[in-house]
Structure 1
Amino acid sequence: MENWSTPFEVTHWHAWSPAVQTRDAWLEWAKAPYSTNGEGSPAVEGMQPMNRRRLKQLGKMALDPTYRLPPTDSPIIFSTQYGDLTRCYELLKELTETGAISPQSFGLSVHNAIPGLYTIDRKLHSNVTALASTDGVMSALIEALGFFAQGESSARIIVVENAVQQEYKNYCDFVDESYGFAMDVSPGGNLQFTLSSATTNNQTNPALPSNLNIFRFLIGEDKAFSEVINNTLWKMRRV
């Protein structure tokens, strides 16, 4: 017998990628997905220019959709498996060439720097959780349910990844997509998930990262969904 989570709902969402930018475009993409890669950088409207200048592409993709959501003081759950690899690579290169690194750039490379900059810019005192997980948005949803169990009425989830630069591709295989999405989730509603061990590691759509496959389900109308991530079978349903 499967043990399903307590119900939850997505109350607001927005997303940005170089190839898909508006809500209507994302809803069409969810019906017939394609690569989210492309050219361009989000504007991150609403953020103070002084803070916006500190962001690289990963931070802009994370915060552009976040600033399009209604203001909130709910807990923030930020998820990115690899973090700001572009900034980290620049720091490693600088360290190799000069023996020193920029303190400011180092401070902005840590995993919680992007949501931290968001709370500073918005003058928020929200709880911020930063995750580095292969399970991505599913790990973030587990965190959100934990907050609901403690009495919170909503949580804001931010998920972002950037296409990996060539220097890293020489050593590892990556599902190479650029995207960022933000959503507010609340207890109640008709969404549930469960997890169990799996004997295979086949994705629903191996051309897309698991985060995007799950995001498709969350913004779509399908009744059921399953995805295997690192030998864990995740199932979601609308009830």
Structure 2
Amino acid sequence: MSDFILCNWSAWAPGLNCTHHSLVSADNVVVLEWIPKLLQRRLTPLARAVFNVADHCMESGKTLPVVLSSSHGEICKSLDMLKAIQAGDELSPTAFSLSVHNAIAGLFSIAYDNNQEITVIAPGLEGIAPAFIEALGMLNEGVNEVLMILYDEPLADFYPTAPFNLNVCFPCVLALRMSLNGDGMPLQLCRIPQSRNDGEHPIQLLAFIKFLVTEQRLLCLGNYGHSWTWHKK
């Protein structure tokens, strides 16, 4: 059982049919003007959404330890490179470096000049809980605040998804600024013994955003292995 404070949060889920002051609308996902032009050209639509959501959640001039979690990263860029190879085209080294799972984390650290610890998680079947565990571990080791960013985009039809429950039809990004004390929304994370099937990271990410924007007090998530509850205190 772990208690923590959600100091601030922001999300982008263009297919979510609801309104909330912490939701960034699809029209507002733009390239942030303060980012250097050379870096702007390297940002995909998903990376731009990550930067916009994180920027709404952070305090100006303040850098924090960061935990990023994504099921597949920008795997669709890898598919584009495979198609290029099939067509006999040469691959761009820059395109390759920006297709790896921690590419957005690298761009984020450069743009924000963030020299603090940055962890990137590919949680597989475990869903969104490993990112919370990592962030809470940092807090309990003594840091004051942690920024957690969860993101995913739909898989291209090329990739098989059945029989796994791992895909949503629109991209989602969620940023959470967390602490062990202070002002904000008190939350509690607990492990539970029940076996559940609530899908993988993208499905659980959308469920957690819905949890934040509604009056729902308790959220239970799991995927056959470990199961967890988040409780608004």
TM-score, normalising length from structure 2? 0.82
CA shift digits 1:14-69 (9 cap, x unpaired): 11233459743749xxxxxxxx9xx8782032433321211222212222211223
CA distance in 2 between partners of 1:41 and 1:167 (Å): 30
Give the conservation status (yes or no) of the 8 Å contact 2:161–2:167.
Answer: no
CA distance in 1 between partners of 2:161 and 2:206 (Å): 24
Q: Equivalent of 1:112, from 78, 102, 105?
A: 102
Which amino acid letter does the alignment assign opposite residue 193 of structure 1? L
Q: Cα distance, 1:219 vs. partner?
A: 4.7
Whether 1:121 and 2:114 are equivalent positions in the alignment is no
Gaps of 5+ in 1: 28-35
CA distance in 2 between partners of 1:121 and 1:150 (Å): 26
CA distance in 1 between partners of 2:161 and 2:15 (Å): 25
Q: Cα distance, 1:237 vs. partner?
A: 1.3
Q: Return closer, same or farther for 1:40/1:9 CA change in 2, 3 Å cut-off.
A: same
Q: What residue number does 1:141 align with? A: 132
Q: What residue number does 1:237 align with? A: 231
CA distance in 2 between partners of 1:130 and 1:52 (Å): 21
Q: What residue number does 1:48 align with? A: 36
CA distance in 1 between partners of 2:155 and 2:72 (Å): 9
CA distance in 1 between partners of 2:91 and 2:179 (Å): 42
Q: Where in structure 2 are the equivalents of 1:23-38 lying within 5 Å?
A: 23-24=20-21, 26=23
Q: Where in structure 2 are the equivalents of 1:55-66 lying within 5 Å?
A: 55-66=43-54
CA distance in 1 between partners of 2:162 and 2:191 (Å): 31
Q: Cα distance, 1:146 vs. partner?
A: 0.7
CA distance in 2 between partners of 1:22 and 1:137 (Å): 23
Q: What residue number does 1:216 align with? A: 210
CA distance in 1 between partners of 2:119 and 2:161 (Å): 31
**Corresponding pairs, count:** 222
CA distance in 1 between partners of 2:23 and 2:27 (Å): 17
Q: Where in structure 2 are the equivalents of 1:145-156 lying within 5 Å?
A: 145-156=136-147
Whether 1:13 and 2:9 are equivalent positions in the alignment is yes
CA distance in 2 between partners of 1:58 and 1:172 (Å): 26
CA distance in 1 between partners of 2:127 and 2:171 (Å): 14
Between the aligned residues of both structures, percent identity stands at: 23
Q: Where in structure 2 are the equivalents of 1:149-188 lying within 5 Å?
A: 149-169=140-160, 173=164, 174-176=166-168, 177-188=170-181
Q: Cα distance, 1:186 vs. partner?
A: 0.7
Q: Return closer, same or farther for 1:41/1:190 CA change in 2, 3 Å cut-off.
A: closer
2:21 aligns to what SS in structure 1?
A: helix
TM-score, normalising length from structure 1? 0.80
CA distance in 2 between partners of 1:119 and 1:128 (Å): 8
Which amino acid letter does the alignment assign opposite residue 206 of structure 2? L
Give the RMSD, CA atoms, in angstroms.
2.9
Q: Where in structure 2 are the equivalents of 1:95-110 lying within 5 Å?
A: 95-98=85-88, 100-110=90-100
Q: What residue number does 2:76 align with? A: 86
1:151 aligns to what SS in structure 2?
A: coil
Q: Cα distance, 1:148 vs. partner?
A: 1.0
Q: Return closer, same or farther for 1:166/1:210 CA change in 2, 3 Å cut-off.
A: same
Q: Cα distance, 1:155 vs. partner?
A: 0.4
CA distance in 2 between partners of 1:126 and 1:140 (Å): 17
Give the conservation status (yes or no) of the 8 Å contact 2:65–2:147.
Answer: yes
Q: Cα distance, 1:232 vs. partner?
A: 2.4
